[in-house]
């Protein structure tokens, strides 16, 4: 029987994804000048021929002054339709889609999570955030020291700051559309700026952008509305949102915000989770780490059986918003796990990240009916930690090791070299 993973999916904008497998966004760390370049294109040429139903790029930052990493591609200036900027981005779009795979650009602003060494604003300049709440990795001396060294204290955004960042999101989306990409995904997860506005933990404003779940959602809703006005009707606009452990009150607030996004006409929603303070998107959580281990996965027994990190949250979203196209990302390693999520009704699209860095043609194996279920899988160990990391915060070290390791594999893809799964030392 054909796998449900092979089914095409049509988004509300009309864009058709030829199957349900999406190469999820990962940090590439390849844009040394913060612009698209040959190494980035070479890596994506591998995924372009990998049989994916869609490709999501890593972060493209909307402001070169505020980067998530020193090597993120970014918008360097206000976009006014310049042919030179289109010419800079079009080869990247063409490579990604040369075999017909729709490619969606993840656009982002890190807000308070912009590292000191990332961005053109200077090492001592403040980051920006909805409220002036600094990042905290913990209350211990080492945790506080690492936080201070890694990030400057944020300042609360003014109304002018908010309007400027909204324009930057719109400019970036217009440039991606003009360059030929198939859509954009607003990064509203992992503690970045949109997520900071949505969360009552990081947004304590009492103006029109804070104070209630609806007001905290205004920032992203204005971004969505203005992008929709500026791009073709067939250009997809999605969003990545956090799934995290909620109290009943905050869970309902999240559902209220999702309803607003659905009503605003979002084309798809990707469910992920975690922040730098609690990196559950990498399979780590401060709530489950032990003092002597930085490799404690966050899966419950039931979730582990189905692989996905955020399955239960996605199923609740599906139950409340049955017409919303859902992508679930985090933890998928096999055909059986991916098919289970689809057949259970938890999602329409399966996002696959780290296996894609090891095997760029992973979908070809999952969709090949001649390959048995035992072979249609790619289990991955956690990246082993060097001994000297034992004194550092477990949450940030665990996530940092994973990001560094897999960006290294993406670099190998870009250079035409063989890739390797992590092994225990």
d(CA 404, CA 425): 17
d(CA 374, CA 350): 19
Nearest CA to 162 out of 191, 115, 205 is that of 205
Q: How would residue 213 be classed by pLDDT, with cut points 50, 70 and 90?
A: very high
How far from 306 is each of 100, 310, 312, CA to CA, in Å? 30, 10, 11
Q: Are 375 and 335 in contact (CB under 8 A)?
A: no
Q: What is the CA radius of gyration of the chain?
A: 20
Mean pLDDT of the chain: 90
The dihedral over CA atoms of 144, 145, 149, 151, expressed in degrees to the nearest 10, equals 0
pLDDT in tens, 215-248: 999 999 999 999 999 999 999 999 999 885 455 6
Widest distance between CA atoms in the chain: 59
Residue 66 has pLDDT above 70, yes or no: yes
Query: 183-188 and 154-156: which strand pairing?
Result: unpaired
- What pLDDT, on the 0 to 100 scale, is given for residue 126? 96
**Other Cβ atoms closer than 10 A to 252:** 12
Q: Are 45 and 55 in contact (CB under 8 A)?
A: no
Domains in the chain, start-ordered, CATH in brackets? 4-414 (3.20.20.70)
pLDDT in tens, 116-126: 999 999 999 99
User: What's the rounded mean pLDDT across residues 289-307?
Assistant: 39
- Kindly tell me the sign of the dihedral angle through the C-alpha atoms of 348, 216, 400, 237: positive
State what percent of residues in the chain have pLDDT above 90: 77
SS3 252: helix
SS3 406: helix
- Kindly tell me the sign of the dihedral angle through the C-alpha atoms of 345, 317, 276, 224: positive
d(CA 147, CA 319): 39
pLDDT in tens, 29-48: 999 999 999 999 999 999 99
Q: How would residue 387 be classed by pLDDT, with cut points 50, 70 and 90?
A: confident
Residue recorded with tokens 């020193």 = 70
Burial class (CB in 10 A: 0-12, 13-18, 19+), 355: buried
- What pLDDT, on the 0 to 100 scale, is given for residue 418? 97
pLDDT in tens, 138-180: 888 888 888 899 999 999 999 999 999 999 999 999 999 999 9
Window from 155-164, 206-215, 269-278 with minimum mean pLDDT: 269-278
Structure tokens at 297: 């996965």
**Which letter does DSSP use for residue 121 in this model?**
T
Residues β-bridged to residue 241: 188, 271
SS3 352: strand
């Amino acid at each position: 029987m054909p796998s449900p993973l092979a089914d095409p999916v049509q988004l509300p904008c009309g864009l058709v994804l030829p199957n349900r497998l999406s190469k999820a966004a990962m940090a590439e760390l390849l844009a040394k000048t913060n612009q698209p370049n040959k190494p980035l294109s070479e890596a994506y040429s591998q995924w372009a021929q990998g049989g994916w139903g869609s490709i999501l790029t890593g972060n493209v930052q909307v402001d070169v002054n505020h980067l998530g990493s020193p090597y993120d591609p970014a918008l360097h200036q206000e976009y006014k339709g310049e042919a030179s900027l289109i010419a800079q981005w079009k080869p990247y779009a063409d490579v990604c889609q040369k075999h017909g795979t729709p490619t969606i650009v993840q656009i982002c602003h890190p807000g308070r999570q912009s590292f000191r060494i990332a961005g053109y604003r200077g090492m001592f300049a403040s980051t920006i955030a909805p409220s002036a709440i600094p990042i905290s990795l913990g209350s211990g001396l080492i945790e506080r020291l690492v936080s201070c060294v890694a990030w400057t204290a944020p300042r609360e955004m003014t109304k002018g700051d908010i309007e400027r960042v909204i324009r930057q999101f719109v400019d970036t989306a217009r440039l991606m559309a003009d360059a030929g990409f198939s859509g954009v995904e607003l990064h509203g997860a992992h503690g970045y700026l949109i997520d900071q506005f949505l969360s009552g933990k990081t947004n304590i404003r009492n103006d029109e952008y804070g104070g209630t779940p609806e007001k905290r959602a205004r920032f992203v809703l204005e971004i969505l509305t203005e992008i929709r006005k500026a791009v073709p009707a067939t250009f997809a606009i999605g969003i990545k949102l956090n799934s995290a452990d909620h109290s009943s009150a905050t869970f309902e607030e999240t559902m209220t915000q999702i309803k607003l996004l659905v009503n605003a006409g979002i084309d798809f929603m990707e469910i992920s989770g975690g922040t730098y303070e609690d990196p559950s998107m990498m399979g780590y959580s401060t709530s489950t780490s032990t003092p002597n281990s930085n490799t404690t996965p966050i899966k419950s027994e039931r979730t582990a059986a189905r692989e996905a990190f955020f399955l239960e949250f996605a199923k609740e979203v599906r139950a409340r918003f049955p017409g919303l196209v859902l992508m679930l990302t985090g933890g998928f390693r096999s055909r059986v796990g991916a098919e289970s999520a689809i057949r259970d009704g938890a999602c329409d699209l399966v996002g696959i990240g780290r296996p894609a860095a090891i095997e760029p043609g992973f979908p070809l194996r999952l969709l090949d009916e001649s390959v048995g279920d035992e072979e249609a899988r790619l289990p991955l160990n956690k990246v082993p930690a060097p001994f000297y990391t034992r004194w550092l915060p477990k949450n940030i070290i665990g996530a940092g090791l994973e990001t560094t390791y897999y960006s290294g594999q993406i670099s190998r893809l870009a250079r035409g070299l063989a890739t390797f799964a992590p092994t225990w030392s």
